[in-house]
Structure 1
Amino acid sequence: MRPLTEEETKTFFEKLAKYIGSNIKHLIDRPDETYCFRLHKDRVYYVSESLMRKATSIGRDNLKSLGVCFGKFTKTGKFRLHITCLDYLSQYAKYKMWIKPNGEMPYLYGNHVVKAHLGRITEDTPEHQGVVIYSMSDVPLGFGVTARSTADTRKLEPTAIIAFHQADIGEYLRDEDTLF
């Protein structure tokens, strides 16, 4: 477990900023305790400093995970967010999208969001922007990237894709062996 290098930090924060923007500062500057991001086996963990100090007594080979896994670095150096960080993304998200009950199951099976399933969307959401996807009862279901801006979405036919799937809570069951 080690701190992120400058290049890793830049890549990680750029990806995180697509979803929560300048609210990244709320993750680090917390009133209750000091939190930090640490890298362990290509995965980035969000952990309190007190827990991190206690974990130093555990050997690297024996440490499975620590804190909340935000995602992992691929072999090419890109960063991929995991569904395990959804609680924090939904708390600080700049842009949100709500889908109708008939669109929840297709989304949870890994499909993109089509216009027919859209309940509502945050006003002035730009194209290719990270969004957190909610059910109509405000339960976070996952996150994705918008295919169209809010203004363009109104003109589309019902079968047009408006958000590309990135991750959903169904991954806890589908990918349980690779999440950690």
Structure 2
Amino acid sequence: MRPLDETETRIVFEKLFKFIGNNLKNLVENPSHEGPDSTPGRYCFRLNKNKIYYCSESLVKRATNIARPNLVSLGTCIGKCTHGGNFHLTVQALNLLAANAKHKVWLKPQSEMSFLYGNHVLESALGRITENIVAGDEVVVVNMADVPLGFGVAAKSTQDCRKLDPNGIVVLHQGDIREYLRMKDEL
């Protein structure tokens, strides 16, 4: 478990910035009330076996007592670094993204399962959509009760969605909360 170097930090922050914009400051400066100290700590990012974790500094200090090969996880795994130098978000980061997202798409109740089976979001499935979305923006997909279901990339802008036919794709699927069931053999 080690801190991110400059390149890794830039890649992770660029990806998170696409989803949460200026709210990235809230994620980084979020006070942590864990640990024996009465003073609040902060949250940080750590790398372990090509996975990026978001955890409190007090938890990191306590984890130094565990040998690196024995340390499996620490905090919330928000993504993976690829060998090519890219960063891919995992579904575990969904709660962090949903709390700070700048663009959201709400699904109608009858369309939730279609998205959770790994399908893209069609125009007929839209309940609401955030204003000023541009094609290519990263969005968080939630149901009408604001429960986060997954995330993806906007295929069309907000204005284009208004004149799109019902079978047109609005959001390209990237991840959802049912991935655990679909990938249980790999885990």
Q: TM-score, normalised by structure 2?
A: 0.92
Structure 1 segments unaligned to the other structure (5+ residues)? none
Return the letter of the residue paired with 1:121.
I
Aligned residue-pair number: 179
Q: For 1:47 and 1:134, how far apart are their aligned partners in 2?
A: 25
Instruction: Note if contact 2:135-2:157 (Cα within 8 Å) is conserved in structure 1.
Output: yes
Return the letter of the residue paired with 1:127.
A
Matched residue, 2:35: none
What is the identity percentage for the equivalent residue pairs of Structure 1 and Structure 2?
A: 55
Q: SS at the partner of 1:76?
A: coil
Which of residues 93, 99, 103 is equivalent to 2:107? 99
Query: What is the CA distance between 1:75 and its match in structure 2?
Result: 1.6
Instruction: Note if contact 2:2-2:48 (Cα within 8 Å) is conserved in structure 1.
Output: yes
Query: What is the CA distance between 1:31 and its match in structure 2?
Result: 3.3
- Per-residue CA shift, 1:85-111, capped at 9, x if unaligned? 111100000000001112111100111
Which of residues 164, 177, 180 is equivalent to 2:172? 164
Is residue 119 of structure 2 the alignment partner of residue 120 of structure 1?
no
Is residue 63 of structure 2 the alignment partner of residue 63 of structure 1?
no
Which of residues 109, 116, 126 is equivalent to 1:108? 116
Q: For 1:18 and 1:133, how far apart are their aligned partners in 2?
A: 14
Q: SS at the partner of 1:61?
A: helix
- Aligned-residue CA RMSD (Å): 1.1
Matched residue, 1:52: 60
- Per-residue CA shift, 1:140-174, capped at 9, x if unaligned? 10111100100011111111100000110001222
Q: TM-score, normalised by structure 1?
A: 0.96
Q: For 2:128 and 2:75, how far apart are their aligned partners in 1?
A: 33
Return the letter of the residue paired with 1:21.
G
